């Protein structure tokens, strides 16, 4: 089968490509260029006009694209770099900025998976005659006897990325492959060394790829200075305790960077973008027993009308907590936790698990 | 069998040229600046090559400066002329919006350092207007640089008339002839240019070697400083094997041009006619004439060239689209953008550039493969949008 592998230049997708090639598949490597890499690339200068100075941009991922190309070359598979700059900007970066200035805390990786990899890139792969698109995600897809697809956590729970893949539909799962999902990270690295891949010991990526320094607030301020405005930090009783430089600098449960003098530790408990007010309170105020999710995807394609017992994960690094969920109107879902959960954060995903399986998920309202 | 239709990117070295480069690398390894026998041998080969390149251009051998390629020649010409004329108070440069990056980005770099730069626009023909260049000329214009033929469209620019206009205002004129050398007859005297860049690997020579023709009497500030090689105009121990290969390729091209040109034009026209006839919503970009004989640039509606290019590659057909940047990704062509074509059309453009090895059978295979590929990609877009 012809399989397109999305190669990021990291060890996981490199091994994914290598394993598929070893199995004898017709593997085509592709890498997505997501943000500008060269100053000349976007030459928007008007002809006839005197030219002004242009700042040279640098790109953190040219090295990664280079690694992907080197791996593909070593595997003797064709490799293409696809320009997804404008789509990435529309689907991921703009949303990221919009969410932060709306007082929410976005997960760009999940948007990238749903709006780029398993939509536009999957479309490209199909156009290249591929029967499947493979990535280096730590997640598994199984097929039952009735022909239905199931999304499971990666076997290595420490690396599991199923949380970021909850948007996958039956149609997408039918054409997605996660060749390292049934391996643990050490095994992946062992494969990489066995295959002589140069990225065998490359460090895992940590931050959001387009904000390599991890300073999200500064990124938002550069991208949309007109949308950020200062406001007040208030107590739960409404008393003004201080000021802040913009709601995009805060996330629910945040304690650091409040610059308040208080004898008791204070946490961000509520963010109101409309009034630019950030509410703080004691840790106890962070607990929530219920939430509403929007744009919910039910991976089986069928929404449960009755309450269903599941385990709900509300952050990438959150131990899924017992809860009940049922579908509501307009693609929403209502969810009730058995125990109060700390820092239920709008903009993050809530993913519903039945054991190892992702049965659905949505965006926390 | 793979079909190579990307000769404007590079050409396969002619076997006799490749053999010569290998033989010289092995046997004639002397430093051409050395006084002794070994140096003399190397120098002798370089002198031969200089004569062969001069013959290709209708020039004197002493006017030929060997360089590391077309882009280096462009840099040497533009930076060298700009610096040499700065003292005379000439701080203005003119070029066009459709130049190769070797010229465009060099001029931009000088703009950042204080030179005034005018980028002359083009219309949808892809041919620069002489009047527009003339209007841009000023008393302090140091240099006008207009390419001989555009690498993406193949359109030949009116360099003779522009050279005349530049001369009338006391400005130097440079042309990047990388896409015409070996394809069209070049006579630097008749063209009236002062500086002309060429590159060996575009006419079946080796990579990493080119030449800048500098009209006798034109003073350039050397852009690479060091030893006295190339009469002090390009320092550094010469790439003797590459230069010998360039000479052989130049002699070969000069000899083949009269027969190969018409053959390629007929083949290109067959391809162009065929594609436009069988692919609905396809259009040629730029004027049909004057063009170099081997190039056609075609936009396909409702298709991203990136997908088409990859699809063709997987079918064993090598073409190009836009210009490949450092990462190998595809950008919308600055040339098509400058021509004022709609964005969608700039994204759907494919360049076919033919060469010596291509046959009618190959062209017919492309015409046979393309419609199915285009239709598949279009259907896919419709399905996914739904």
Residue that has been written with the tokens 């040499």 in this structure: B84
- pLDDT mean across residues, chain A: 90
Closest CB to B384 among A48, A69, A123: A123
Same domain (yes/no): A11, A31: yes
Same domain (yes/no): A136, A238: no
Domain stop point among A144, A175, A194: A194
Which CATH number covers residue A316? 2.40.30.10
- pLDDT value at position A54? 25
Q: How confident is the model at residue B331 (pLDDT cuts 50, 70, 90)?
A: low
Q: How far apart (Å, rounded) are the C-alpha atoms in residues A295 and A362? A: 5
CA A284 to chain centre: 29
- pLDDT value at position A44? 35
CA end-to-end distance (rounded Å), chain A: 42
The region of weakest confidence among A234-238, B180-184, B193-197 is A234-238
Same domain (yes/no): A74, A159: yes
Tokens found for residue B242 = 């590459």
Q: CB of A169 within 8 Å of any CB in chain B?
A: no
Residues of chain A positioned with their CB less than 8 A from the CB of B108: 40, 51, 54
Q: What tens digit of pLDDT does each residue of B114-127 get?
A: 999 999 999 999 99
Domain stop point among A249, A281, A313: A281
A314: distance to nearest CA of chain B, Å?
Answer: 30
| Mutate: best of A42, A48, A69, A122, partner B, most B CBs <10 A | A48
CA atoms within 13 A on the CB side of B219: 6
User: Which residues lie below 8 Å from residue B49, measured CB to CB, with a gap of 6+?
Assistant: B66, B243, B244, B246, B247, B248, B250
Question: Cβ(A253)–Cβ(A289) under 8 Å?
Answer: no
- Domain boundaries, given as residue ranges, for chain B: 3-9+257-385, 15-252
| Nearest chain B alpha carbon to A119 | B384
- pLDDT value at position A37? 55
Q: How confident is the model at residue A52 (pLDDT cuts 50, 70, 90)?
A: very low
| pLDDT above 70 (res A73) | yes
Cβ separation A127–B325 shorter than 8 A: no
Q: How confident is the model at residue B57 (pLDDT cuts 50, 70, 90)?
A: very high
Cβ separation A47–B338 shorter than 8 A: yes
CB atoms within 10 A of CB A266: 21
Say which residue, A265 or A44, is predicted with more confidence.
A265
B266: distance to nearest CA of chain A, Å?
Answer: 32
Same domain (yes/no): A11, A126: yes
Same domain (yes/no): A95, A13: yes
Residue A202 domain-assigned?
no
Tokens found for residue B69 = 């390629």
Same domain (yes/no): A312, A346: yes
Residue B137, φ and ψ in degrees, nearest 5: -65, 140
Cβ separation B306–A42 shorter than 8 A: no
Q: CB of A105 within 8 Å of any CB in chain B?
A: no
Cβ separation A62–B380 shorter than 8 A: no
Tally of helices (H runs) and strands (E runs) in chain B = 12, 14
Which CATH number covers residue A185? 3.40.50.620
Residues of chain B positioned with their CB less than 8 A from the CB of A127: 307, 311, 376-377, 380
Closest CB to B119 among A40, A48, A119: A48
Active site residue A112: yes
Question: Cβ(B284)–Cβ(B276) under 8 Å?
Answer: yes
Same domain (yes/no): A247, A144: no
Q: Which of the 8 DSSP states describes residue A45?
A: P
B3-9+257-385 has which CATH code?
Answer: 3.90.1150.10
Burial string for A311-322 (b: 16+ CB within 10 Å, else e) reads: ebbbbeebebbe
Residue A213 domain-assigned?
no
| Nearest chain A alpha carbon to B303 | A127
Closest CB to A62 among B107, B121, B327: B327
What percent of the residues of chain A are helix, what percent strand, and what percent coil, each to the nearest 5?
A: 25, 30, 45
Residue A217 domain-assigned?
no
The region of weakest confidence among A35-39, A146-150, A245-249, B292-296 is A35-39
Cβ separation A51–B376 shorter than 8 A: no
Residues of chain B positioned with their CB less than 8 A from the CB of A119: 384
Same domain (yes/no): A18, A146: yes
Active site residue B325: yes
B345: distance to nearest CA of chain A, Å?
Answer: 16
What whole-number percentage of chain A has pLDDT above 70?
A: 93
Chain A from 9 to 68: CB within 8 A of any B CB: 28, 33, 37-38, 40-43, 45, 47-54, 62, 65-66
Residues of chain B positioned with their CB less than 8 A from the CB of A66: 327
Give the orientation angle of helix B240-278 with respect to helix B360-385, to 10 degrees.
60
Residues of chain A positioned with their CB less than 8 A from the CB of B344: none
Q: How far apart (Å, rounded) are the C-alpha atoms in residues B158 and B137? A: 16
Cβ separation B119–A33 shorter than 8 A: no
| Nearest chain B alpha carbon to A120 | B384
| pLDDT above 90 (res A6) | yes
- pLDDT value at position A59? 35
Say which residue, A145 or A213, is predicted with more confidence.
A145
Question: Cβ(B228)–Cβ(B65) under 8 Å?
Answer: no
| Mutate: best of B112, B310, B315, partner A, most A CBs <10 A | B310
Helix (H) or strand (E) segment spanning residue A327: strand A321-327
Q: What tens digit of pLDDT does each residue of A38-49 get?
A: 433 333 333 333
The interface predicted TM-score (ipTM) is: 0.79
**Structural domain count, chain A:** 3
- pLDDT value at position B305? 87
Could you tell me the fold of the domain covering B15-252? 3.40.640
| Nearest chain B alpha carbon to A125 | B307
- Read off the pLDDT of each residue in B244-263 and give the average, rounded to a whole number: 98
| Mutate: best of A44, A63, A64, A83, partner B, most B CBs <10 A | A83
Same domain (yes/no): A160, A236: no
| Mutate: best of A2, A33, A43, A66, partner B, most B CBs <10 A | A43
Cβ separation B104–A43 shorter than 8 A: yes
B372: distance to nearest CA of chain A, Å?
Answer: 12
Q: Please choose, from the candidates A364, A97, A110, the residue with its C-alpha nearest in 3D space to the C-alpha of residue A217.
A: A97
| pLDDT above 80 (res A58) | no
User: Which residues lie below 8 Å from residue B154, measured CB to CB, with a gap of 6+?
Assistant: B8, B179, B286, B291, B292, B294, B295, B296, B297, B353
What whole-number percentage of chain A has pLDDT above 90?
A: 81
Residue A273 domain-assigned?
yes
Residue A80 domain-assigned?
yes
Residues spanned by the domain of A249: 229-281
Same domain (yes/no): A98, A243: no
Which CATH number covers residue A252? 2.30.30.280
**pTM for this model (two decimals):** 0.84
Question: Cβ(A191)–Cβ(A18) under 8 Å?
Answer: yes
Same domain (yes/no): A312, A272: no
Residue B260, φ and ψ in degrees, nearest 5: -70, -35
Tokens found for residue B118 = 């005018």
Cβ separation B380–A47 shorter than 8 A: no
Q: How confident is the model at residue B385 (pLDDT cuts 50, 70, 90)?
A: very low
Tokens found for residue A187 = 């095994």
Closest CB to B380 among A53, A80, A127: A127
| pLDDT above 50 (res A327) | yes
Q: CB of A69 within 8 Å of any CB in chain B?
A: yes
- pLDDT value at position B212? 98
Question: Cβ(B210)–Cβ(B73) under 8 Å?
Answer: yes
A122: distance to nearest CA of chain B, Å?
Answer: 10
- pLDDT mean across residues, chain B: 94
Closest CB to A50 among B117, B122, B314: B117
The region of weakest confidence among A36-45, A106-115, B304-313 is A36-45
Cβ separation A53–B104 shorter than 8 A: no
Same domain (yes/no): A121, A266: no
- Read off the pLDDT of each residue in B69-83 and give the average, rounded to a whole number: 98
Say which residue, A159 or A205, is predicted with more confidence.
A159
Cβ separation A47–B117 shorter than 8 A: no
User: What does the radius of gyration of chain A's CA atoms come to, in whole angstroms?
Assistant: 22
Q: How far apart (Å, rounded) are the C-alpha atoms in residues B301 and B312? A: 17
B325, B344, B368, B380: the catalytic one is B325
Q: How far apart (Å, rounded) are the C-alpha atoms in residues A46 and A285? A: 56
| pLDDT above 80 (res A364) | yes
Q: What tens digit of pLDDT does each residue of B84-124 get?
A: 999 999 999 999 999 999 999 999 999 999 999 999 999 99
Question: Cβ(B126)–Cβ(B335) under 8 Å?
Answer: yes
| Mutate: best of A7, A41, A47, A57, partner B, most B CBs <10 A | A47
On the question of a common fold for B3-9+257-385 and B15-252, the answer reads: no
Q: How far apart (Å, rounded) are the C-alpha atoms in residues A171 and A165? A: 14
B264: distance to nearest CA of chain A, Å?
Answer: 30
Helix (H) or strand (E) segment spanning residue B23: helix B15-27
Alpha helices in A202-335 (DSSP H): 216-223
């Amino acid at each position: 089968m012809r399989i397109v592998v999305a190669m990021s230049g990291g060890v996981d997708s490199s091994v994914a490509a290598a394993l598929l090639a070893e199995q004898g598949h017709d593997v085509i490597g592709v890498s997505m260029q997501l943000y500008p890499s060269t100053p000349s690339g976007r030459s928007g200068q008007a002809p006839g006009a005197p030219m002004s100075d242009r700042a040279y941009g640098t790109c953190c991922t040219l090295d990664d694209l280079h690694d992907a190309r080197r791996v593909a070359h070593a595997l003797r598979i064709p490799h293409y770099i696809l320009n997804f700059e404008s789509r990435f900007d529309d689907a991921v970066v703009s949303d990221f900025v919009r969410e932060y200035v709306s007082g929410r805390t976005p997960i760009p990786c999940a948007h990238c998976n749903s709006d780029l990899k398993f939509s536009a890139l999957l479309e490209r792969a199909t156009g290249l005659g591929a029967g499947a698109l493979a990535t280096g995600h730590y997640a598994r897809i199984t097929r039952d006897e009735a022909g239905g697809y199931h999304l499971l956590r990666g076997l290595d729970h420490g690396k599991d990325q199923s949380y970021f893949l909850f948007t996958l539909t039956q149609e997408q799962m039918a054409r997605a492959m996660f060749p390292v999902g049934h391996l643990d990270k050490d095994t992946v690295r062992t494969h990489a060394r066995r295959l002589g891949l140069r990225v065998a010991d490359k460090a895992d990526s940590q931050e959001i790829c387009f904000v390599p320094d991890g300073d999200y607030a500064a990124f938002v301020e550069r991208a949309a200075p007109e949308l950020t405005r200062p406001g007040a930090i208030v107590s739960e009783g409404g008393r003004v305790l201080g000021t802040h430089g913009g709601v995009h600098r805060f996330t629910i449960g945040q304690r650091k960077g409040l610059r308040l003098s208080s004898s008791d530790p204070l946490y961000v408990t509520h963010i109101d973008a409309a009034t630019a007010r950030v509410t703080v309170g004691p840790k106890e105020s962070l607990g929530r027993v219920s939430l509403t999710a929007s744009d919910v995807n039910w991976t089986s394609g069928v929404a449960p009308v009755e309450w269903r017992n599941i385990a709900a994960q509300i952050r990438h690094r959150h131990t899924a907590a017992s809860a009940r969920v049922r579908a509501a109107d307009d693609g929403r879902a209502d969810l009730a936790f058995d125990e109060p959960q700390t820092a239920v954060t709008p903009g993050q995903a809530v993913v519903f698990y039945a054991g190892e399986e992702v049965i659905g998920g949505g965006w926390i309202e | 069998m793979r079909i190579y239709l990307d000769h404007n990117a590079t050409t396969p070295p002619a076997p006799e040229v490749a053999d010569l480069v290998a033989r010289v690398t092995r046997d004639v390894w002397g430093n051409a600046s050395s006084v002794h026998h070994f140096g003399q041998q190397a120098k002798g080969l370089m002198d031969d090559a200089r004569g062969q390149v001069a013959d290709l251009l209708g020039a004197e051998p002493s006017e030929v400066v060997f360089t590391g390629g077309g882009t280096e020649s462009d840099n040497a010409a533009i930076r060298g002329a700009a610096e040499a004329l700065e003292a005379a108070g000439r701080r203005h440069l003119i070029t066009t919006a459709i130049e190769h990056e070797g010229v465009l980005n060099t001029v931009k770099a000088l703009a950042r350092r204080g030179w005034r730069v005018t980028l002359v626009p083009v219309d949808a023909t892809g041919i620069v207007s002489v009047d527009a260049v003339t209007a841009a000329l000023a008393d302090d214009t140091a240099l006008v640089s207009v390419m001989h033929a555009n690498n993406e469209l193949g359109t030949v620019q009116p360099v003779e008339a522009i050279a005349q206009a530049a001369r009338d205002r006391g400005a130097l004129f440079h042309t990047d002839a990388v896409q015409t050398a070996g394809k069209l007859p070049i006579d630097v005297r008749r063209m009236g240019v002062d500086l002309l860049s060429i590159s060996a690997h575009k006419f079946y020579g080796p990579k990493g070697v080119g030449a800048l023709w500098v009209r006798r009497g034109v003073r350039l500030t050397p852009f690479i400083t060091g030893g006295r090689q190339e009469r002090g105009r390009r320092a550094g121990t010469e790439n003797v094997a590459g230069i010998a290969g360039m000479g052989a390729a130049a002699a070969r091209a000069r000899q083949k041009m009269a027969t190969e040109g018409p053959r390629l034009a007929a083949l290109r026209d067959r391809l162009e006619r065929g594609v436009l006839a069988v692919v609905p919503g396809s259009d040629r970009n730029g004027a049909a004439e004057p063009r170099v004989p081997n190039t056609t640039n075609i936009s396909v509606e409702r298709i991203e060239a990136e997908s088409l290019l990859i699809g063709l590659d997987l079918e064993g057909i090598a073409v190009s689209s836009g210009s490949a940047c450092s990462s190998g990704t595809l950008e919308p062509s600055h040339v098509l953008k400058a021509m004022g074509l709609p964005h969608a059309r700039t994204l759907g453009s494919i360049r076919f550039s033919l060469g010596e090895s291509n046959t009618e059978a190959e062209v017919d295979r492309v015409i046979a493969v393309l419609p199915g590929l285009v239709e598949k990609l279009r259907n896919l877009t419709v399905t996914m949008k739904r």
